[in-house]
Amino acid sequence: MNIAMLGSGFIGRFYADSLQGYRSKDKIVSIYSRKQESAKKFADDYTVAFVTTDMEAAINRPEVEVVCISLPNNLHEEAVMLCCKHNKAVISTKPLGRNASEAKRMLEAVEKAGIFNGYLEDLVYTPKFIKAHESVKNGALGRILWAKSRETHPGPHSDWFWDIEQAGGGCILDLGCHCVEITRSYIGKDIKPIEVMCWADTQVKPIDAEDHAIGLIKYENGSIAQFEVSWTFRGGLDLRDEVMGTEGTIWVNSFLRTGFEMFTTGKSANYVAEKAESNTGWVFPVGDELNELGYNHMFMDMFNAMENGTQPKETFYDGYIVNAVLDAAYASAKSKQWEPVKLDVWRGKTGLSQDQHLTDYDADHYLVKEEMTHYGAKKLILKNKKTGKIFEKEIK
């Protein structure tokens, strides 16, 4: 694939390292940046032939097959509309929009234009997530009751993130978009999110947006999702997931504590890992950062889908759903109440009720719990279906 990269900053370079390294047959042929000096440096580092500070000029080139958006949030819609205008496949970094209205316009535009669209939610492509999600899909955890995702770190790298007008929000939008899609994937992307309760505050940073938030998302089938996000966390980048089902539990630590620990005085030390706050003392390097953060599997999925004429795992539709959930989170943070998720576009299941899934022990009783005691007897906790009385029974 010949790629036009829009944006030459932190995420653009992460993308470029993966794009030109993993499949070894994809090439960035055009680079747009708002700053000429940054564009030139990117072109030199990644051997890009065409450099410009004109976004449309970067997109509208005959050799460009796909456009990769790695721009500030407020520029996503402009870039997507130019891709539609010039009939170019488009893949965009997260979040898709600053809100659901922007995301919906982008979704409708790419579908009307009939162009390939991919949502670059890298954290549902990490090796640990892929393995955990496969276990969930295969039924290892039974019915998913609760899914939790946490992303916290000391704050983003670029100035625009801290400007609420350009970014559209704070850590909820920046980090919550990851957490929502992770937990939504575990619960089932065809299960409708219906309402959100969220606490958010600005505890540390001198900004207008929130720097810390915790939220709950109710799903139509009774499942619950939880997110914890912060730009105030000290110690690096903390990525953790937990999933609980009727038959099991999964804990995933994706980044901060991965089994690779090193002590250094700092002599000749340099970059350790994304969001690492120190390069001295005990540090936690990441063996293959591009792979651990999901970029390799993400771009493989995107480009294989393009070549095969299929949809990738993550599309603009997914980005729109995430934005709608986060809109409800912001509304709840203000109202201090549960707020509905407003979805003008929904393509999943409808009319679900909270499943009871009561387990029969026999014709007259439900099974509450079964366990083996330390003295070798099996204990059953049962509930009488007619009277509601709960009692225990031992089986030798």
| pTM of the complete model | 0.93
Residue 108 CB coordination number (10 Å):
15
Can you list the residues of the chain whose pLDDT is less than 70?
268-269
pLDDT score at 255? 85
Alpha carbons within 13 A on the beta-carbon side of 345: 18
Alpha carbons within 13 A on the beta-carbon side of 185: 25
Determine the Cα–Cα distance for residues 9 and 38; give it in Å rounded to an integer: 8
H runs (alpha helix) in 20-163: 36-46, 55-59, 76-85, 100-113, 127-137
pLDDT score at 269? 64
Cα–Cα distances (Å) from 174 to 151, 160, 168, 209, 255, in that order, read 10, 12, 9, 11, 17
By residue count, the chain amounts to 396
Taking only the tens place, the pLDDT of each residue in 144-158 is 999 999 999 999 989
Rounded to 10 degrees, what is the CA torsion of 177, 260, 128, 197? -30
Would you give the DSSP letter of residue 360? B
Is residue 257 a contact partner of residue 239, using CB atoms and an 8 Å limit?
no
Stretch (H or E) spanning 293? none
pLDDT score at 268? 67
Taking only the tens place, the pLDDT of each residue in 16-75 is 999 988 888 899 999 999 999 999 999 999 999 999 999 999 999 999 999 999 999 999
Residue with tokens 């730009």: 231
Is the backbone of residue 212 left (phi > 0), alpha (psi -120 to 50) or beta? Answer: beta
The sign of the CA dihedral 108, 111, 114, 116 is: positive
> Is 242 strand, coil or helix?
strand
> Is 191 strand, coil or helix?
coil
Determine the Cα–Cα distance for residues 393 and 377; give it in Å rounded to an integer: 10
pLDDT score at 261? 84
pLDDT score at 280? 84
